Amino acid sequence: MTDYKAPVRDIKFVRDEVFDFPALWQDLPGCEEASPDLVEAILEAMATFCEEELAPLNQSGDAEGCNWTDGVVTTPAGFKEAYKKYAESGWPGLTSPEAFGGQALPPSMESILNEFAGSANWAWSMYPFLAKGARATIIAHGTKDLIEGYIPKMVAGDWTGTMCLTEAHCGTDLGMLRTKAEPNAEGSYALSGSKIFISAGDHDLVENVIHIVIARIPDSPPGTKGISLILVPKNLPDADGNLQPNGVSCGSIEHKMGIHGNATCVINFDGAKGFLLGEVNRGLNCMFTFMNTARVGTAIQGISHGEIALQGATKYARERLQMRSLSGPKNPDGPADPIIVHPDVRRMLLTIKALTEGNRLLIHYLSSYLDITRLSEDEAACSQAEDLLGLLTPIAKGFITETGFECANHGVQVFGGHGYISEWGMEQNVRDSRIAMIYEGTNGIQALDLLGRKVLGSQGKLLEGFINEIKTWSEQSSDSTIKAERIGALGEAVAQWAKLSQEVGMKAMTNPEEVGAASFDYLMYSGYVTLAYLWLRAAEVAEQKLQGGSEESDFYTAKLETTRFYFDRILPRIHTLAATIRVGADSLMTMDEQRFVVGLEIS
């Protein structure tokens, strides 16, 4: 069993030392209360709650799973009690407006809580965290009555929320949906239809679940242009605030590969009363408020699984004795050396470390711009931040979940046969992490969004803005040795990134399939280069701390060593990706679909 310890020191390094959140908040209205002392106290409280309340329920929750009996869903033992403590501690309202009972802290604070809770117990964390996206969507698009009627209860943690998109016959292609919303005389809507794969769709943690549902209103145009967004509570509050059943039921829960402690539900709507969010037929636009929140949250899932692999595998590798070091015994008084001395084990551990800590840099880099978009009064700064978030959100969601899964697999491998056994927690980590690459638009969809819409669709404007930032930082004078060592490799990777974008764009002018053929490899290329930039920024800070005589020399030296490993062993992956991007669509698209089944007894 892996004992989780929240990486508080690394969070402080990333946010305070690399990205200087305290200075950022000084320039943003509404951050006056977020003093360094308060933030540190919150960090410690988050860590304690996640380590002591959530982590002990992770493996037991996986083993027990959720139960569905006659339409009633129950969560694993301990989940309900942990949720009660979570709500009583005020965590649901951490960044919500004070007017609704929240604490009004900067939005980026959610990224810390999401990682700590997700690492401790991803299945549990999904119950309250999906509610955050639902809240944001209601606040952004709901009427005054809906906001006042629903948000305070959700901020208090009394009610949770979901995102209801998928139907049995349509996943990514939302324009095929069949759920109907018939207008009622008083302005509400009666919903009929079913949604599947609804995470945290029903449970016993709270008295009410608020569903944010895409549906089609009669006479709406076909496809995505005819989608509307409807708020549908499981239980409808009457004039006195009492809850009444609302024609919403859980038809079943899915039997899944992982995250067994979270109920993934089939939700049926049988004339359920709902209320329009935003404008008729503009539902997909409104839903992106929820989806973008969820995409960043899913990216954090990749970090969470990487952190569990890092902690578990590192501890095991330092204790497990197997064979002798090829350069001579390192544990001469024992029967063998700890496996951490062996190069191949170090390869896996350093890969986990470089990717997980690099991905954490990316998430909090994004979070700094999220704070600007939500709080800044500077229109130019907000526009620049929106552009950067638009470019980097699909990279973060796709790249971090892909590499998080890679890290989880390395975690199993370090343990050897023991990693395949459930008691150590590594195999659960792999099972739980696999869904992240599918959630909130598969990574193939993220890749198409990045290359097709964000890069080519903006005629290179969004990418150019980010590349210019990297160039500006690269050209700043510095006495950093590691920056001088590695800046050339970063510059070459960035220049090739721009060139690859142009090459794919030119090919796509004659063959649109070139975008789809290149997009996934392009996303991964983009992720590796982005992390190279952020690792080098972090290494420069670490080197400055060492030059200043820091007493934490091991911490900062590890940052320099991990950066060098990343540039030597991880960043070179871009060369293969560049080759596969450039080879084009031919070898993907020439095979006739019938030839896929030649020699197989299938039709």
Give the residue numbers marked as catalytic: 440
Q: 208-215 and 264-277: which strand pairing?
A: unpaired
Contact call for residues 366 and 373 (beta carbons, < 8 A) = no
What DSSP state is assigned to residue 193?
Answer: E
Measured distance CA(401)–CA(219) in Å, rounded? 39
Judged on CB neighbours under 10 Å (0-12, 13-18, 19+), 592 is exposed
Contact call for residues 563 and 538 (beta carbons, < 8 A) = yes
Q: 189-199 and 264-277: which strand pairing?
A: antiparallel
Measured distance CA(67)–CA(81) in Å, rounded? 17
Q: Which residues pair with 274 in a beta bridge?
A: 189
CA-to-CA separations, 537 to 7, 40, 512, 532, 570, in angstroms, rounded: 20, 23, 37, 9, 17
* Two structure tokens written together for 283: 């539902």
Classify 215 as helix, strand or coil.
strand
Measured distance CA(409)–CA(388) in Å, rounded? 31
Among residues 272, 168, 291, the alpha carbon closest in space to that of 230 is found at 272
What DSSP state is assigned to residue 59?
Answer: H
Q: Which residues pair with 269 in a beta bridge?
A: 193, 248
What DSSP state is assigned to residue 71?
Answer: T
DSSP assignment of 242-294: -EEE-SEEEEEE---SS-TTS-EEEEEEEEEEEEEESSTT-HHHHHHHHHHHH
Judged on CB neighbours under 10 Å (0-12, 13-18, 19+), 23 is exposed
**Within 10 Å of residue 81's Cβ, how many Cβ atoms?**
12
Among residues 455, 291, 374, 394, the alpha carbon closest in space to that of 95 is found at 374
Backbone angles phi, psi at 330, to 5 degrees: -105, -10
- E strand or H helix at 388, and its extent? helix 379-415
* Two structure tokens written together for 403: 């590499």
Classify 103 as helix, strand or coil.
coil
Backbone angles phi, psi at 584, to 5 degrees: 90, -170
Please report, as a single letter, which amino acid is at residue 107: P
Q: What interhelical angle do 283-319 and 109-120 show, nearest 10?
A: 50
Measured distance CA(207)–CA(191) in Å, rounded? 21
